[in-house]
Chains A and B, each alone.
Chain A
Amino acid sequence: MRVAIEGLEVALSGRTVVSGVDLLAEDGEIAGLIGPNGSGKSTLLRTVYRYLRPHAGRVLLGGTDIRSLTPAASARLVAALPQERGSDFELSVRAVVAMGRTPYKRAFAGEDRADADLVTAALEQVGMAGAGGRRFSALSGGERQRVLLARALAQDPKVLVLDEPTNHLDVQHQVELLALLRAQRRTTLLSLHDLNAAASLCDRLHVLHEGSLVASGTPREVLTPELLAEVFGVRVAVVDHPLTGDPLIAFDHRAM
């Protein structure tokens, strides 16, 4: 499902955090948001999963303004993986994944066979089959993130929205998680800190700087030394990845 963001403007406690952002993610495309801390990536994503209400502008899902849908109806289309990492409330892994069914269930309704199957399938997809009875809070960071992705998959969404999904993961788990996302073939909107991960995963990149969109395009179009110097204030060389052929950003860690 196509996601279109038009003229988005968000103000938080009086301060404009995102202004005038237009952005398009075609059906089945993985769209990455990059930009320094505080550039408005999380804020933008939060308007897509309706944690924040935009000040102006709108978010369209396949042509429908999400604000015209009920919260449950838009949650059936968009699943989010925010940066929250849960708490110690003795939730089992299965209970966490089953939360993905929330937007489909009426009050008092229990889990039916179809729900149970979706939950099991989602756990299998992320390689956590058989872990359903474990305590969520006792999992490692990588396992937790995979379970949260399983929750998003159990939501059976048309669009996945992920805020820094690889944060706090070691390299192996980062690679695994990105491979999982690539295999989904769903419209995906995500923010990433790791520019090389963004270059290899995303079909299109959108660069945010101080709340405004400063560049959009394929990774090769966007990831230029000039732009990275301007937005991130770093000196880099962009070369071809010897294994994959993707753009590879080599930082000059000695430059001041």
Chain B
Amino acid sequence: MTALATAAEAEAEREPGARAGWVGALLGVALVAALIASVCLGSSDVPLGEVWSSVARGISGEEPVPGTRDLIVWQLRVPRALLAAVVGAGLGLVGTAVQALVRNPLADPYLLGISSGASLGAVAAIVLGAGAGGLLGLGLSSAAFVGALASFTLVWAMARRDGGFSPLRLVLSGVGIGQFLSGFTHYLVLQAGDDQQTHGVLFWLMGSLGGAQWSTLALPVAAVLLGLVVLLARARALDAMLMGDETAAGLGVDVARLRRELFVVTSVLTGVLVSVSGAIGFVGLMVPHVCRMVVGGAHRRLLPVAGLFGAVLLVVVDLVARTALPDQELPVGVVTALIGAPTLLYLLDRRLERG
């Protein structure tokens, strides 16, 4: 009995945040393993040894050797696995930031219609012929950013009444506005009238990593790293926001300014991610939840862990999406929806139960 009581006390003393180092290291190993698996496995499996030599040749800039699968490995699978990792990390970060911003663990850029706004922005730019070119896809990303910011602002205005949000009101506003914007996106893609319409609709509305190339990687990598730094610099203010605006103000946080900054950061990240991978749903919802349960809610530890876990998750999900069906590839957003929507329902149920 006494031994049990002391054990319980010791357990209570232990901070969940203290685990973050181990969890981070573990996730790092998992990420490397997932990336390797993702490059080896696919429509045709490439043995590890062959992957190594292809990657070595790729890094040293040698020409691909005819008769090997250098092209598949170095030009398709490696960039795709890396894109999955970067987009997953970005979605984990955006989800964490958005949830703190609206003080609601049911939030996610996809559910709140931010991704839909970004998709519409990107598609509109393509149709108007403005976005296709531009340095590193900056044109497309800027249009997606504008769309993301506009839709986020709209959802915010809809959901905020009497100075507060009810979780249900926020999610319903987000879903409603998201559906409305997706309708436009759908229409624009079909009107564009090229022969890849169905592919376009799937890409922008469900998300896909199929367009991964080395050249599309730089912008999301830069955006995600920058986003991580900007958010980490505000980790304490984000913690304070979780308690409420008044608490944050009392702790010396300039709440109005922080909120504006978070609006911009989440919209920029969402815009960049959507412009390279379409609107992938639910990753931003699930990742912060799981990570909070493991390392606690304090953002200094939560943010890096959420980024790593998001990366692992999306690399694995993409591997599943590519290999689940024998002759066909599923859009990655289909798989995230299959896991994420039930998660949302479960969380919603739990929250409504508590009142």
Which residue numbers of A lie inside 8 Å of B, CB to CB? Answer: 46, 49-51, 70-76, 78-84, 86-92, 94-96, 98-103, 105, 107-108, 110, 130-134, 155, 161
Interface contact B240-A102, CB-CB below 8 Å: yes
Bound together, the chains give a CA A13 to CA B335 distance in angstroms of 47
Question: B249 an interface residue at 8 Å Cβ cutoff?
Answer: yes
Contacts of A161 in B (CB 8 A): 250
Q: Are B297 and A99 in contact (CB under 8 A)?
A: no
Contact check, B297 vs A91: say whether CB atoms are below 8 A apart. yes
Q: Which of A80, A90, A94, A98 contacts B247 (CB 8 A)?
A: A80
Contact A96 B12 (CB under 8 A): no
User: In the complex, which residues 233-288 of chain B have their Cβ closer than 8 Å to any Cβ of chain A?
Assistant: 233-237, 239-240, 242-247, 249-254
Q: State which of A51, A89, A134 has its C-beta within 8 Å of the C-beta of B105.
A: A89
Cβ B250 vs Cβ A110 within 8 A: no
Judge whether B186 is part of the interface by a CB distance below 8 angstroms: no
Of chain B, the residue at the smallest CB distance from A94 is B15
CB of B120, distance to nearest CB on chain A (Å): 31
| CB of B229 to closest CB in A, whole Å | 9
State A50–B11 Cα separation when bound (angstroms): 38
Residues of B within 8 A of A (CB): 9, 11-17, 99-100, 103, 105, 232-237, 239-240, 242-247, 249-254, 292-293, 296-298, 300, 354
Docked CA distance A83–B243 (Å): 10
Separation of A219 and B100 alpha carbons in the complex (Å): 43
Which among A78, A86, A98, A132 is the interface contact of B242 at CB below 8 angstroms?
A86
Partner of A108 from the list B13, B232, B298 (CB cut-off 8 Å) is: B232
- Report whether B13 and A49 are in contact in the complex, using a CB–CB cutoff of 8 Å: no
Give the residues in chain B near A110, CB-CB below 8 Å: 300
Are the CB atoms of B12 and A72 closer together than 8 Å? Answer: no
Which of B12, B243, B246, B296 meets A90, CB within 8 Å? B296
Instruction: Check B300–A87 contact: CB distance below 8 A.
Output: no
Contact A75 B251 (CB under 8 A): yes
Contact: A74 with B246, CB < 8 Å?
no
Please name all residues of chain A whose beta carbon is closer than 8 Å to the beta carbon of B243 when the two chains form the complex: 84, 86-87, 96, 99
Chain A residue at minimum C-beta to C-beta distance from B237: A102
Query: Which of chain A's residues have a CB closer than 8 A to the CB of B239?
Result: 91, 95, 99, 102
Taken together as a complex, chains A and B put the C-alpha atoms of A46 and B255 apart, in Å, by: 14
Say yes or no: A133 contacts B12, CB within 8 Å. Answer: yes
Bound CA–CA A95/B100 (angstroms): 15
B244:A84 contact, CB within 8 angstroms: yes
What residue in chain B is nearest A95 (Cβ atoms)? B298
How distant is the Cα of A103 from the Cα of B237 in the complex, in angstroms? 9
Residues from chain B with Cβ under 8 Å of A79 in the complex = 250
By a CB distance below 8 angstroms, the chain B residues around A49 are 246, 249-250
Please tell me if the beta carbons of A91 and B298 are within 8 angstroms of each other in the complex. yes
Q: Bound state CA distance, A130 and B6, in angstroms?
A: 11
Q: B12, A134: Cβ atoms under 8 Å? A: yes
A sample of 24 inter-chain contacts (CB < 8 A) reads A46-B246, A51-B246, A71-B253, A75-B250, A79-B250, A81-B250, A82-B247, A84-B246, A89-B297, A90-B16, A91-B239, A91-B298, A92-B16, A95-B239, A95-B296, A96-B243, A99-B243, A101-B236, A102-B237, A102-B253, A103-B251, A103-B252, A130-B12, A134-B12
> Contact between A87 and B233 (Cβ–Cβ < 8 Å)?
no
A91 engages B249 (CB within 8 Å)? no
A87 touching B103, Cβ below 8 Å: yes
Q: Are B297 and A90 closer than 8 Å at their CB atoms?
A: yes
Measured CA separation A197–B12 after assembly (Å)? 34
